[in-house]
Structure 1
Amino acid sequence: FVPLLLLLAELGCSAQPTYPWKDAVTNRKLTCQQCPPGTFVAQHCTRDRQTVCKPCPDLHYTQYWNYLEKCRYCNVICEEKQVEVQQCNSTHNRVCQCQEGYYSEMEFCIRHSECPPGFGVEKLGTPFENTQCGACPRGFFSSSNSSTKPCQPHQDCEQQGKGTHDQHHDTLCTSCKLGRSNGTQGP
């Protein structure tokens, strides 16, 4: 019983898709075979002949098994700040996405946000998502606006016996630790 079930399932999966059609001459209802992607129905089936499929002309496509009488026109045009990532071909329409440094929001390409000083990039922007920023943790800094740079580690002044740091700038290592003098006296 199980082998029979598997055989039927395999036959069902590999069978060519069909569609109902009414023969104009005989008025009989027929089951016609669909055309594969990249083709269209040139002639519907009759009781004596299977469906006749023809390839899509240039700049036209069909993406799925179908019974269309003509292929769809490749109508996607890449807009400003978009690049073509897939050319129009017989099985797919043209595909566009935002160029590097931009992401798509409500069908517009918007420049990736820059993280301000004190914040670094936690996740780079993609053509589909904006940059994600996060505050620099203790021991790290970011001194400029950037849509690509993560927080940078401070120099290890403590190890050198020198200065301290904050989240907006790199460490400026000095000979004196905060709150101590270097032995020179003022006027």
Structure 2
Amino acid sequence: MEPRARAVLAVLLLLAAQVTMATGETRCNPGEYEVTSLCRCSKLCPAGYYVSKYIDQDHSVGECRECESGTFRAHPSEESSCVPCSQCREDQEVVTECFPTSDRLCQCKQGNFYCDSVDCTESCFRCKRCEDSTILHPCNATRDTVCAVKIHPEAGKV
């Protein structure tokens, strides 16, 4: 190929790459991502895995490694590391442990409820006690106790 033809081809390839980046379009198939530095498409690593080595062939899978203990990746991904698992606070207990495909879930310890109002900081509060009234809804991990309103007859009326 003569030098002028090579130069025209290089410009066309560069323009095609810029159009792809500008429009967000890719030549990759669903379930793949573009490795821009290699101009290749790679299949995503499955949930619970991360990319440990990028591909050397187009439309193939790179090297995927399972997330280490204490980390997870909930969805298929092109990321080169897993996400650290959440830690429960002292006023919380573990509902579900962390697994390679899901984060740890925490809730307030029994006898406490979580205050999710804008007026509250992120912490658990002790459940309200119903003094001399009936409990309409018991306290749980997401809401406080709801007590029945006790109506007192007015003094002096029969």
TM-score, scaled to structure 1: 0.56
- Secondary structure of residue in 2 paired with 1:66: coil
Contact residue 49 and residue 66 of structure 2 kept, 8 A: yes
Alignment of 1:13-162 (within 5 A): 17-24=31-38, 29-48=39-58, 49-74=60-85, 76-105=86-115, 106-117=121-132, 119-136=133-150
Q: Quick check: which has more Rg, 1 or 2?
A: 1
- Could you tell me which amino acid in structure 1 is paired with residue 129 of structure 2? E
Deviating above 6 A after TM superposition, structure 1's stretches of 4 or more consecutive aligned residues are: none
- Could you tell me which amino acid in structure 2 is paired with residue 99 of structure 1? K
Contact residue 19 and residue 32 of structure 1 kept, 8 A: yes
Percentage of matched positions with identical amino acids: 23
- Secondary structure of residue in 2 paired with 1:135: coil
- Could you tell me which amino acid in structure 2 is paired with residue 71 of structure 1? C
The structure with higher relative contact order (CA 8 Å, sep 6+) is 2
Aligned residue pairs: how many?
119
Q: Give the distance between the partners of 1:95 and 1:16, measured in 2 at CA.
A: 31
Structure with greater helix share of residues = 2
Q: Structure 1, unaligned stretches of length 5 or more?
A: 1-14, 138-165, 168-187
Q: Structure 2, unaligned stretches of length 5 or more?
A: 1-28, 116-120, 154-158
Report the equivalent of 1:179.
none
TM-score, scaled to structure 2: 0.66
CA-based RMSD: 2.2
